[in-house]
Amino acid sequence: MHQLNATMLPRVCNYLAVSILCLALCRCGVAGPVGARESPVSLTGTTCNALARSLLWNVSAVLAMDHLFSGFDCTQQNAEVHLRTQTVATCTPQTSGRGGAGRHLAIEVYTEDQNADCAHSIALNIDENECLKRILEDLHYYREKFQAYSNPELTKTVVGSIDDLMQNCFSVSAMDNSPAEMSMDHQKSFEERLQLCKVLKGFNLRTITINRVFNHILAK
């Protein structure tokens, strides 16, 4: 076996370093285009305001169905709002230094406070793309939540309205075609009916926010 002398060692090390660098660059090149971004979300269609109002009306109508909430007064329960998407925070102006790349618009923002005596509004700038993405995620979340109850009245009204809104008003879709896990027991327990009441009341507040966002975007 040949032995490396002292003069050959630096050249061998340089060769190995260059080879490793080339291999790394080749692997990076296979990964795909640099800086690829998600498609921006926008509203499409001419009936979005009507569909958003229909959704709000259907949620309010279901909340008025006393037979779904037997054993307690749903009007006295607290609303349970989906906060993970941070829709309200996203649909309000960003603080200085957090400006996004998306298109901004002026909008009146109302807090989702069920105990507020009156609604206060001010003209604000929000990132339209991020706001609509959060709304779309909310609709997907609530759709799966309500579909799992396997209640015909809930499915035909609220779930159906969510489907209409998601399929006809957004440039991209978060629809999941996989079937949701459904309970075949239509006689829900007290705890389940109480939870449905709270989630519906939270979604009712969110649909008010959705309607106001839609009104301002489509009025431009």
Boundaries of every domain in the chain: 48-218
Label residues 20-53 b or e (16+ Cβ within 10 Å = b): eeeeeeeeeeeeeeeeeeeeebebeeeebbebbe
In sequence order, which residues have a C-beta less than 8 Å from that of residue 37 and are 6 or more positions away? none
* Tokens 């793309």 found at: 129
**CA–CA dist 203, 46 (Å, integer):** 24
- Contact between 204 and 77 under an 8 Å Cβ cutoff? The reply is no
59-78 b/e with 16+ CB inside 10 Å = b?
beebbeeeebbeeeebeebe
pLDDT at 187: 52
What pLDDT is recorded for position 9?
46
pLDDT on residue 53: 97
187, 58 Cβ separation under 8 angstroms: no
Alpha helices in 78-219 (DSSP H): 87-90, 128-147, 152-154, 160-169, 190-218
* Calpha distance 176→39 (Å, rounded): 18
* pLDDT in the model for residue 27: 42
First to last CA, the chain: 79
One digit per residue, the tens of pLDDT, for the chain of length 220 reads 445 455 554 454 454 444 443 344 334 343 444 444 567 888 887 899 999 999 999 999 999 999 899 889 999 999 998 888 888 888 875 544 444 444 544 444 445 555 544 444 444 567 889 999 999 999 999 999 999 988 999 999 999 999 999 999 998 765 554 444 444 444 578 889 999 999 999 999 999 999 989 988 888 7
DSSP, collapsed to helix, strand or coil, labels residue 107 as strand
What is the rounded CA–CA span in Å between residue 130 and residue 36? 17
Select from 87, 59, 63 the least CA-distant residue to 73: 63
Return the bridge partners of 205, or none. Answer: none
> What is the architecture, at CATH level 2, of domain 48-218?
Up-down Bundle (1.20)
> What does pTM read for this prediction?
0.68
Which pair of tokens denotes residue 187? 């006689």
Give the Cβ contact number of residue 197 at 10 Å. 23
